[in-house]
Amino acid sequence: MPALSDGTSLPDVGFGTYPLRGDEGTQAVLSALDLGYRLIDTAVNYQNEDAVGRALAQTDVPRDEIVVTTKIPGRDHGFDETLASFDRSAAALGLDVIDLYLIHWPNPSVDKYVDTFRAMVRLKEEGRVRSVGVSNFTPEFLTRVADATGVMPAVNQVEIHPFFPQTELRAFHAEHGIVTEAWSPLGKAAPVKESAPVAEAAQAHGVTPAQVILRWHLQLGAVPIPKSGNPGRQRENLDLAGFTLTDDEVAAITALGRPDGRLFDGDPNTHEEM
Ligand SMILES: NC(=O)c1ccc[n+]([C@@H]2O[C@H](COP(=O)([O-])OP(=O)(O)OC[C@H]3O[C@@H](n4cnc5c(N)ncnc54)[C@H](OP(=O)(O)O)[C@@H]3O)[C@@H](O)[C@H]2O)c1
């Protein structure tokens, strides 16, 4: 249970919902909750807050056990725009309180992420948001929002998988009490899973390559949010407690990292999403 700087905590593993939508999305989230996931990751731009909301309304899992995350899109950056965007997200999700509210991408050329974060801090002060964080932020952007608002984001959700382990950014997070969430934690599966250190560790521990990669995230101190629409793979991705990777195995998987290891050109300094 990684502890957040604001006194709350996150489950060890979350459930990614992109691109699950509509009834398929609702069923996938219901299945994930049933299997034990307690951190659900959605975003305005996934166009599935309504599908997630229907699952939250239908599940037997008590609301206070679930950490619901959503993310503000670039087109809603700005102080007043963020307050209005929050109201739309809360309505779509059918919630009064959003547990973890993130800025999806910093969009530095637009330069409104500081005002956006200021509005999120207001929502937290009003009790409508439990924890405020960001996604795809560099140390420079994190420092700027903290200096401007006096609040360091509790979470930074970034691309991390064996081909892109983000060692320096994770060290910055550790130094500043920021919890790292890992998106595309499996590197969207195929090539990462077939890499020798992953396959060898899977064989050594009698688990699947996906379980090795997710266990690697836990041992790095990151919170992975794997997506699966398949209940069997959802279960597999949560079943990580029965083995521990050796330090050498962790190091060999981290050594798969390479400068061009991103899945797409998702450098937050240049990649912008509205
Ligand atoms: N903040 C951001 O900018 C950002 C960007 C991208 C993603 N995200 C979040 O991160 C979540 C996860 O990222 P992602 O979906 O891109 O990538 P991912 O979780 O690394 O990979 C998902 C892919 O792996 C497959 N898979 C899942 N579990 C598996 C297993 N045990 N064995 C084999 N294959 C497996 C899934 O297929 P099946 O469904 O068929 O199992 C799917 O094709 C997203 O859903 C989203 O919530 C955030």
| Residue 116: per-residue pLDDT | 98
User: Whose C-alpha lies nearest to ligand 1, atom 32?
Assistant: 210
Q: Catalytic: which of 18, 37, 46, 101?
A: 46
Block residue for tokens 């101190």: 221
> Hey, which residues does 159 pair with through a beta bridge?
183
CA-186 nearest atom, ligand 1: 20
State the Cα–Cα distance between residues 120 and 133, nearest whole angstrom.
9
pTM > 0.95: yes or no: yes
Helices 247-254, 209-220: inter-axial angle, 10-degree rounding: 100
Provide the pLDDT for residue 194.
Answer: 82
Domains delineated in the chain: 15-254 (3.20.20.100)
46 assigned to active site: yes
Residue nearest to atom 29 of ligand 1 (CA): 233
Q: What is the pLDDT of residues 42-78, one digit of tens each?
A: 999 999 999 999 999 999 999 999 999 999 999 999 9
pLDDT tens readout for residues 196-255: 999 999 999 999 999 999 999 999 999 999 999 999 999 999 999 999 999 999 999 999
Q: Is 69 in the pocket of ligand 1 (CB under 6 A)?
A: no
Give yes or no for residue 73 CB within 6 A of ligand 1: no
What was the pLDDT predicted at 192? 75
Could you tell me if the CB of 233 is within 6 A of ligand 1? yes
Q: Is any atom of ligand 1 closer than 6 Å to the C-beta of 214? A: no
Q: 149 with 109: CB under 8 angstroms?
A: no
Is residue 131 predicted with pLDDT exceeding 90?
yes
**Per-residue model confidence as pLDDT tens digits over 186-195:** 998 767 778 9
